[in-house]
């Protein structure tokens, strides 16, 4: 994994902007601490920072072939198939890395090469003869890519922070951005980046940019097709796709491990990985995360019915992994809310972000690559909102069903048409859904739920995982995001997907013979968050400091009486802010993150 960036200008000699180019490179250092490179011409500059994973000696970037130069961030999991296909067409290769494969695939097939790639990626190819830039992002949106066009200058980067270094790009936030932060956050609309001058290249899209044109096209989308396999065949097919995706993602020239929570998804990944390692005469390392004294304060809930710690040792012993449990200090989790905001360049997932950042930093001490179980819940129906008939057909985002709790902390008049903005984004997403004429009412709604989860909840988790891991210089792969699994699950009948009336029923059936019964049929449990009151006390101290600082406009935006009520009684929150992971303490932490986001980026509200 790496960090990429670039500048194009027909009016400015970019050789005169060398300090800016170096600063942009430096801002990507954590994404790529192992090396850096730049391609600089008067009219174009491409920047690369490298985290070496495959072929450390020969995979340096920017990489050139003929008139093309590439900078690339990601991993391609069908590299060998593509390499062999290109060799049969007469291409020769000097490296073992996937960068060279993408570059020569683009040379051969141009934009059609996107459809041939199975992986997580964001890359840019510069055509030095046509003076044309090609940008592309993976189908699911695992790897980030942002861009801006301002005052005759075009810029792109893996981080929003990198783009804000460009003098022409401002840190202004308008009403749309405010709605994104307060009405939708920590989620955001695909294609936006909250800042007025910055956009996101959407997943499954490519851009062609030159002085004469600027076009964005979608190269892949979910299409409804008839599912013709039997229940037994579907179980077998699911097992094959998941196992194949995991094994493809175990390729690495540097130490690799897995995250293991004791839940179904991470246990499947760790079991497959452990078998792979044993076959090669080695032992898999697994990692879990928890908080000091968390067991002491744990309370069962609909969203988190039992503790991960009850199951982690069971599955680790079962698969024979070398397990490491990282125990986080609650005061440190609060403190790192600031660093995680800096890394994201937006207010984010509060302690869900900061704890992951601390966890990844610990894992990085011994490993460079990890596999994680994100996104199985979104595509296999793992969340409670898929199964609660009382909310299934509500015309709203199921993880944030009411805007009342959001409006309650804001002063009247701050947001124009906040509820309408949220509903518009909901309808906009649902309208992208592909159906079959034969779909029942339930099947149609399940497709809509799939689309909503893919474009919103899943994107939020993927941004979190990418930013916090790469801020730690750790590459985290997510096998359940293999587009083949996503396509297959989208067209799977709900009756099979929810076999035995269980969330992720088909996935449980597919792997029930290789996992302990207690793990296979364990109730869904989310990423662990702290229940220790020490964390809440620390956050309240931070909120007090925020509310006493009038140097930002934040206090003018908030209803301070409501904030103080929440500090006195965090359980009084009438509804979750964002699903099971953001309740009273997290709403207060979100306010802290908004404050530091404004301060760090000198945000101007317009």
pLDDT at residue number 523 = 83
Tens digit of pLDDT for each residue in 365-381? 999 999 999 999 999 99
Beta-carbon neighbour count of residue 309 at 10 Å? 16
Residue 245's SS3 state is: helix
Decide: 159 and 27 in contact? Cβ < 8 Å. Answer: yes
pLDDT at residue number 531 = 80
Tens digit of pLDDT for each residue in 106-154? 999 999 999 999 999 999 999 999 999 999 999 999 999 999 999 999 9
Tens digit of pLDDT for each residue in 548-591? 998 999 999 999 999 999 999 988 777 789 987 788 899 999 99
Quick one: pLDDT band at residue 55, thresholds 50, 70, 90? low
- Cite the DSSP H helix spans in 480-601: 483-490, 494-497, 505-511, 517-520, 533-547, 554-557, 560-568, 584-601
Burial of 168 (0-12, 13-18, 19+ CB in 10 A): middle
Interhelix angle 231-248/483-490, nearest 10 degrees: 160
pLDDT at residue number 301 = 54
Q: Supply the DSSP symbol for 305.
A: -
Whether the per-residue pLDDT at 520 is higher than 70: the answer is yes
* Sequence-distant (≥ 6) Cβ neighbours of residue 25 within 8 angstroms: 5, 36, 38, 47, 49
Quick one: pLDDT band at residue 306, thresholds 50, 70, 90? low
Tens digit of pLDDT for each residue in 195-252? 999 999 999 999 999 988 899 999 999 999 999 999 999 999 999 999 999 999 998 8
Rounded distance, CA 402 to CA 578, Å?
10
Rounded distance, CA 140 to CA 153, Å?
28
CA distances from 258 to 249, 463, 468 (A): 11, 19, 16
pLDDT at residue number 583 = 87
* Average pLDDT over every residue of 70-86: 97
Residue 230's SS3 state is: coil
Decide: 142 and 119 in contact? Cβ < 8 Å. Answer: no
Decide: 107 and 89 in contact? Cβ < 8 Å. Answer: no
Rounded distance, CA 179 to CA 399, Å?
17
Rounded distance, CA 198 to CA 89, Å?
40
pLDDT at residue number 312 = 94
pLDDT at residue number 134 = 98
2 tagged catalytic? yes
- Give the rounded percent of residues in the chain with a pLDDT score beyond 70: 97
pLDDT at residue number 298 = 65
User: 258 - beta bridge partners?
Assistant: 286, 371
Q: Comparing C-alpha atoms, which of 329, 570, 602, 363 is closest to residue 476?
A: 363
Quick one: pLDDT band at residue 476, thresholds 50, 70, 90? very high
Decide: 596 and 342 in contact? Cβ < 8 Å. Answer: yes
Tens digit of pLDDT for each residue in 316-373? 999 999 999 999 999 999 999 999 999 999 999 999 999 999 999 999 999 999 999 9
Catalytic residue among 2, 136, 360, 540: 2
* Average pLDDT over every residue of 478-492: 98
Give me 404's structure tokens: 């009342």
Burial of 350 (0-12, 13-18, 19+ CB in 10 A): buried
Rounded distance, CA 271 to CA 515, Å?
8
Whether the per-residue pLDDT at 1 is higher than 70: the answer is no
Whether the per-residue pLDDT at 307 is higher than 90: the answer is no
Gap between the terminal Cα atoms of the chain = 36
Q: How much is the mean pLDDT over the chain?
A: 94
pLDDT at residue number 10 = 87
Residue 377's SS3 state is: helix
Could you tell me the strand order of the sheet in which 2-9 lies? 35-40, 44-50, 2-9, 153-157, 146-150, 199-200
Whether omega before 62 lies within 30 degrees of 0, making that bond cis, reads: yes
pLDDT at residue number 570 = 87
Going by their DSSP bridges, the two strands 285-291 and 256-259 should be labelled as parallel
- Which stretch of DSSP H or E encloses residue 238? helix 231-248
Whether the per-residue pLDDT at 308 is higher than 80: the answer is no
């Amino acid at each position: 994994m790496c960090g990429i960036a670039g500048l194009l200008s027909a009016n400015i000699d970019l050789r005169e902007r060398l300090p800016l180019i170096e600063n942009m490179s430096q801002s990507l250092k954590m994404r790529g601490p192992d090396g850096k490179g730049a391609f600089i011409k008067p009219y174009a500059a491409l920047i690369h920072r490298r985290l070496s994973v495959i072929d450390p000696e020969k995979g340096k970037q920017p990489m050139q072939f003929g008139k093309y130069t590439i900078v690339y961030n990601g991993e391609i999991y069908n590299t060998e198939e593509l390499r062999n296909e290109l060799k049969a067409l007469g291409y020769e290769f000097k490296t073992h890395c996937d960068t060279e494969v993408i570059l020569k695939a683009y040379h051969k097939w141009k934009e059609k090469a996107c459809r041939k790639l199975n992986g997580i990626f964001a890359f840019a190819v510069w055509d030095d003869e046509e003076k044309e830039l090609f940008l592309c992002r993976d189908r699911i949106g695992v790897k980030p890519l942002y861009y801006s066009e301002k005052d005759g200058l075009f810029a792109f980067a893996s981080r929003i922070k990198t783009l804000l270094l460009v003098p022409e790009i401002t840190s202004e936030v308008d009403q749309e951005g405010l709605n994104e932060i307060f009405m939708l956050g920590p989620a955001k609309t695909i294609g936006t980046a909250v800042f007025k001058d910055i956009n996101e290249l959407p997943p499954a899209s490519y851009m062609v940019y030159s002085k004469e044109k600027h076009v964005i096209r979608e190269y892949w989308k979910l299409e409804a097709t008839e599912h013709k396999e039997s229940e037994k065949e579907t179980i077998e097919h699911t097992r094959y796709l998941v196992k194949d995706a995991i094994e493809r993602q175990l390729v690495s020239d540097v130490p690799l491990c897995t995250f293991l929570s004791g839940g179904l998804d991470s246990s499947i990944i760790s079991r497959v990985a452990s078998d792979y390692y044993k076959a090669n005469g080695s032992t898999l390392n697994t990692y879990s995360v928890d908080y000091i004294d968390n067991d002491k304060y744990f309370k069962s809930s609909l969203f988190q019915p039992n503790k991960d710690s009850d199951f982690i040792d069971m599955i680790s012993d079962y698969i024979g992994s070398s397990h490491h449990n990282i125990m986080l200090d609650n005061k440190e989790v609060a403190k790192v809310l600031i660093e995680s905001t800096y890394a994201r360049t937006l207010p984010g997932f509060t302690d869900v972000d900061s704890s992951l950042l601390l966890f990844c930093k610990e894992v990085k001490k011994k490993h460079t690559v990890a596999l994680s179980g994100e996104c199985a819940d979104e595509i296999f129906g793992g969340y409670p909102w898929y199964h609660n008939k009382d909310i299934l057909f509500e015309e709203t985002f199921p993880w944030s069903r009411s805007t009342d709790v959001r409006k309650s902390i804001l002063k009247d008049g701050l947001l124009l048409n906040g509820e309408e903005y949220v509903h518009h984004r909901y309808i906009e997403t649902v309208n992208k859904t592909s159906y079959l004429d034969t779909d029942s009412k339930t099947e149609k709604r399940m497709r809509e739920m799939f689309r909503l989860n893919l474009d919103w909840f899943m994107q939020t988790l993927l941004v979190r995982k990418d930013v916090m891991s790469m801020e730690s210089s750790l590459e985290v792969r997510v096998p359940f995001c293999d587009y083949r699994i996503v396509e297959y699950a989208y067209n799977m009948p709900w009756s099979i997907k929810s076999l035995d009336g269980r969330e992720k029923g088909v996935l449980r059936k597919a792997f029930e013979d290789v996992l302990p019964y207690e793990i296979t049929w364990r109730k869904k449990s989310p990423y662990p968050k702290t229940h220790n009151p020490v964390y809440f006390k620390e956050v309240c101290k931070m909120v007090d400091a925020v509310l006493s600082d009038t140097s930002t406009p934040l206090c003018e935006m908030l209803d301070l009486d409501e904030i103080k009520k929440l500090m006195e009684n965090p359980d009084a929150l009438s509804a979750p802010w964002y699903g099971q992971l953001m309740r009273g303490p997290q709403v207060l932490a979100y306010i802290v993150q908004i404050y530091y986001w404004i301060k760090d980026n000198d945000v101007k509200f317009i």
